[in-house]
Amino acid sequence: MARVMLTDRSVAALQPKEKRYDVSDSKRVGLRVRVAPTGIKTWVFEKRIRGESNLRSHTLGRFPVISLSEARDKALTLEKEAIEGVDRKAKVKRDETVRMVLNEYEKRHLAQLRTGKDRRKQLDAALAKHLDKPIIKLERQHLRDFVEKVAANGTLIAANRYRAALSAFATYAWKRDLIDQNIGLGLPSATREKPRDRLLTLTEVRAIYDAAGLLSPLWTPIVRLLILTAQRRGDIVGLRHSEIDYDKQRIDLPGARTKNGKPHIVHLSEPALEIVAAMKQEAEQKAEQEAEKRNGQVQPICDLMFTTTGTTSVSGFSKVKVEIDKLLPEDMAPWTFHDFRTAFATIMAEGGADEGIVDRILNHSASASAASAVARVYNLSAQLDKRAIVLDRWAALVTKRSAKVVSIAS
C-alpha cells in the first residue's frame, strides 16, 4: 500500500481504478484514503487497541466533506484513545438527542470543571430549541444564529463565551462520530478580545507543558524551555550552545540577542538544564555520525541549538500551536506563547516572589531613569541567587518535581 504525505490537492487528484485501492498518509500512521471504482473517496483509520491483538478499523467520512485536516484530527483522537485502551466504535449511537449527548458531555467533561455548572446552563440556553432533536440534525447555522442573537443585544463578550461553549461541545460530538462534521469549527467571534487579558492558570501551564511532550523532538524542548525560563520566544528559539554555562547552570545572552539590547543571564533549573544538556548530546552524536559516514574527523557541532538548516533558527510556531491545541482540553480558552511570561510573573508574585526579581528574570527594561554603573553591575550579578530560587520554584510548580535550588556565584 502506498504511503505518502497527503494534501487535500493530492487526494482530490486521485483517480478511480478498476479495483478499490488505498493510499496511506505518512504523517498520521494508520490513516488512509480509500478510492472506490465509482470515484468515492472515504477516510479510514486503523489502530490496535491496547490489550487487543486485532486492528480496529474506523470509517471517518467521505472526502471532501471531511477534509484531510479533519480526518487527521479524528485519527489523532482515536489513536490517543486506543493507547489508553478505549474502544468506542461499538458505542456510537447517532440517534441520540442533543439533550442525551449534553448529559453525557456533562458527566464525562463538565463535571470535572470548576465552572462546569455554568457551562451547562450556557449550553442549555443556546440549544433550547434543539434539545430533543437527534444530534445528527444539529447544524452550524443553529449555533451561529444563537451567537449572533446574543451579539445583537450588545453583549459581545457574552456572545464570545457562548461561542466557545458551543464550539467545545460540537468538537466533543464530532470526535465521537455523533456528527459528520465539526459544526463548531470556524464560528465567528462577536468581538476581538485583547490577548493581554488572558491569564494562564498553573493547571493550564502544566497542561501545555505535558502536551509539549507529544510534539516532535525538535519542538518539545523549545516549548518546555519557554515555560521553564519565562524568556521571550526569540531568545529561546535562537539559543546557541555557546551561550550555555553548564558550570554556573545558566544562559548568558549577549545584548545583541535581547530585546532591550542588554546582556541577560537566565538561571537554568534542573529540568531546564536537562533539556539543554540533552540537546548538546544529540548534536555531538550527530556530528560523530556524520564524521563516520565521511571517514573523517569530527567537526564542531552547529552552534544553533534549534535548527534544521544549520544556518537559521527554526520557524513555524503557528503550526506547532495548532498541534498543541489538539492535545489540550476542548474548552481551554485561546492563549499565546507570550502568556507563559505573564503566567510566570503573576503566579510567582502571588506566591511571594519579589516583583523586582521577577522583572529582572523577564529582562524588563526599567521604567525609571537610567541606573548608575554600580547599580547596573549589582543588577546583573548580585541578584542571581534570588533569580535562581524563583526559577527553581517555578520549575517545581510546573513539573511537580522538588526544586533543587542552586546558588550561583557572581
Q: Which domains does the chain have, with CATH numbers?
A: 2-69+78-89 (3.30.160.390), 98-193 (1.10.150.130), 202-399 (1.10.443.10)
Q: What is the pLDDT of residue 193?
A: 63
Q: What is the pLDDT of residue 407?
A: 41
Q: What is the pLDDT of residue 93?
A: 56
The angle formed by the CA atoms of residues 127, 131 and 132, to the nearest 5 degrees, is 155
Q: Collect contacts of 354-357 with beta carbons under 8 A, ≥24 apart.
A: 354/386, 357/383, 357/386, 357/387, 357/390
Q: Output the tens digit of pLDDT for each of the chain's 410 residues.
A: 567 889 999 999 999 999 999 999 998 989 999 999 999 999 999 888 776 766 778 888 899 989 999 999 989 988 887 877 666 554 555 678 999 999 999 988 888 775 788 899 999 999 999 999 999 999 999 999 999 999 998 788 889 999 999 999 998 998 887 887 889 888 888 887 664 557 899 999 999 999 999 999 999 999 999 999 999 999 999 999 999 999 999 999 998 888 878 889 999 999 999 999 999 999 888 888 777 777 666 677 889 999 988 888 898 888 899 899 999 988 888 898 999 999 999 999 998 998 889 999 999 864 333 444 444 544 555 488 999 999 999 999 999 876 554 444 33
| Owner of C-alpha cell 535562537 | 238
Burial (0-12, 13-18, 19+ Cβ within 10 Å), 137: exposed
Q: What is the pLDDT of residue 86?
A: 66
Q: For residue 406, which of 283, 247, 211, 186 has the smallest C-alpha distance?
A: 247
Q: For residue 62, which of 78, 81, 38 has the smallest C-alpha distance?
A: 38
Strand order in the sheet with 244-245: 244-245, 250-253, 264-267
Residue-wise DSSP of 185-210: TTPPPSSPPPGGG----HHHHHHHHH
